[in-house]
Structure 1
Amino acid sequence: MKTSKVMLLLGLLLLMVIPSTIFAQSENQRPAYITVTTGHWNMDYENFNREKWIAVEKEFLDKVAKKNEFIIRSFVFLHRFTPDNTEIIFVNTYSSWDNIDKASQRNNELAKEAWPDEAKREEYFKKRNAYYADTHSDEIYVPIAGAKMLAPSDKEMIWLVVKGHFAFPEDGSRKEFDTLSKEYLDNVINKNEYIKGYYQHGHAWGADRTEYVRAFVIESMGDLDKMGKRSTELFKEHWPDEAKRKEFGKKMGKYFTGKHGDYIYTSVPELTK
């Protein structure tokens, strides 16, 4: 890869961290990294009961994750429409790279405090781990500016995750990308009443450094089509001239390969920090 493309890669993925005004003023409330662990259900688990599983995971959430000062937020998502129905997604956010490691160490400490008796601690984790297969994968992302923050809610939400890829054009620049992205976010995403939350992430550590992830949060599956139609309406309202729309699309499109995949998940509000 040429030097210019390397610099653009750094500009797009490492420097476009969400600005402080989007989050609370405390440094500890400002995500700088997001870990995504894709686990899988143990398909041989007999007599699976969703409520019992939630109760087991909530015990860990209440006794460990919620008390871990190095984890800002945590979420759990279940397969809705993805290529793999065994998927279960665990997401955590952190204010620094160092806090990822510190959070892991703190989890171990809090687990020992919650279950001081070693036999009982092993019994709990054996029960918890029995729900999952041994295989999993991990990715680490950096937030990209332009989040539409989801209001706190105790209801299940639909998360449409679109995984695309950056193209790193020779004639591109961070300034142009930021300007184009902000214009679209301000006039389409933020004005779309069906989009309750929106997040952009770039690769930090994992299998594919070109990965660009967008997450659209909506209230129901029925709102998916409405969201798309409304975005099209807003796009045409902001760029009423067809030639201008095509010009914008050409400028923005050069930053992406055009290849993407769509995944739909359901949040588990009971397991949210």
Structure 2
Amino acid sequence: MKTLKITLALVLFLLLAPAITQAQDNTVFTITTWKIHIPEDGTREELNTLMAEFQKKITQPNEKIISERAMRHLSGDDSRDLVFITEYANWNDIEAASIRQEELIDSAWESDEARDAFFKKFNKYFIMHTDEIYSGINNFDKN
């Protein structure tokens, strides 16, 4: 049994070692899961409109973001999960994208008051969030 475990560990290492060394050449992903709720003074339509405005003004012009997908929880009792998977060229671009996002937020609205009003409406829909960072493993991609 011990020999089998050692053999399996060695095989797994040999399979994953090339992927681990290639990870620095792969794109990286952040996965942000938000818990949302629709407050009494809000609607799902308003939330969708606000998210579309943020996407147009902040995410789309951010050159450090390769791609982003947004998904909602589809089945089960709790449909409050809103998940964003964002792709970057490398680890350093995560921080660079964050800096760029702050610049875009500062300039995307015509005034500080308009920006503050947007985020007051926007933030009332979000309870909390979690973040994870992943790197792709090319050996397991489906092309």
Q: Which of the five TM-score ranges fits, normalised by the shorter chain? A: 0.7 to 0.9
Residues 1:76 and 2:76 aligned together: no
Q: Which residue of 1 aligns with 2:34?
A: 39
Counterpart of 1:59, as a letter, is E
How far did 1:50 drift?
2.9
> For 1:208-232, what per-residue CA distance to the aligned partner results, in whole angstroms no more than 9, with x for missing partners?
xxxxxxxxxxxxxxxxxxxxxxxxx
TM-score normalised by L of structure 1: 0.43
Q: SS of the counterpart of 1:46?
A: coil
Aligned equivalents of 2:126, 2:19: Cα separation in 1? 32
Residues 1:51 and 2:45 aligned together: yes
Contact 1:13 1:142 in 2 (8 A): no
Select the residue among 11, 14, 21 that pairs with 1:15: 21
Calculate percent identity across the aligned residue pairs: 31
Select the residue among 88, 99, 105 that pairs with 1:94: 88
- Identify if the C-alpha distance between structure 1 residues 132 and 98 changes in structure 2 by more than 3 Å, giving closer, same or farther: same
Residues 1:125 and 2:131 aligned together: no
- Identify if the C-alpha distance between structure 1 residues 85 and 116 changes in structure 2 by more than 3 Å, giving closer, same or farther: same
Q: Which residue of 2 aligns with 1:137?
A: 130
Contact 1:14 1:142 in 2 (8 A): no
Taking the TM superposition and a 5 Å limit, the aligned residue runs for 1:192-271 are none
Aligned equivalents of 1:12, 1:57: Cα separation in 2? 39
Counterpart of 1:32, as a letter, is T
Unaligned regions of 5+ residues in structure 1, if any? 20-30, 150-273
Q: Which residue of 1 aligns with 2:3?
A: none
Counterpart of 1:121, as a letter, is R
Q: SS of the counterpart of 1:105?
A: helix
Unaligned regions of 5+ residues in structure 2, if any? 1-8
Q: SS of the counterpart of 2:95?
A: helix
- Identify if the C-alpha distance between structure 1 residues 33 and 137 changes in structure 2 by more than 3 Å, giving closer, same or farther: same
Q: Which residue of 2 aligns with 1:25?
A: none
Counterpart of 2:134, as a letter, is Y
> For 1:161-208, what per-residue CA distance to the aligned partner results, in whole angstroms no more than 9, with x for missing partners?
xxxxxxxxxxxxxxxxxxxxxxxxxxxxxxxxxxxxxxxxxxxxxxxx
Going by fraction, where is helix more abundant, 1 or 2? Answer: 2
> For 1:16-72, what per-residue CA distance to the aligned partner results, in whole angstroms no more than 9, with x for missing partners?
54x8xxxxxxxxxxx6100001110135x1264333222111111111110000000
- Identify if the C-alpha distance between structure 1 residues 41 and 14 changes in structure 2 by more than 3 Å, giving closer, same or farther: same
Aligned equivalents of 1:13, 1:46: Cα separation in 2? 48
Aligned equivalents of 1:70, 1:125: Cα separation in 2? 23
Aligned equivalents of 1:46, 1:13: Cα separation in 2? 48
Aligned equivalents of 1:56, 1:121: Cα separation in 2? 12
Aligned equivalents of 1:144, 1:8: Cα separation in 2? 14
Aligned equivalents of 2:93, 2:76: Cα separation in 1? 31
Aligned equivalents of 1:85, 1:70: Cα separation in 2? 30
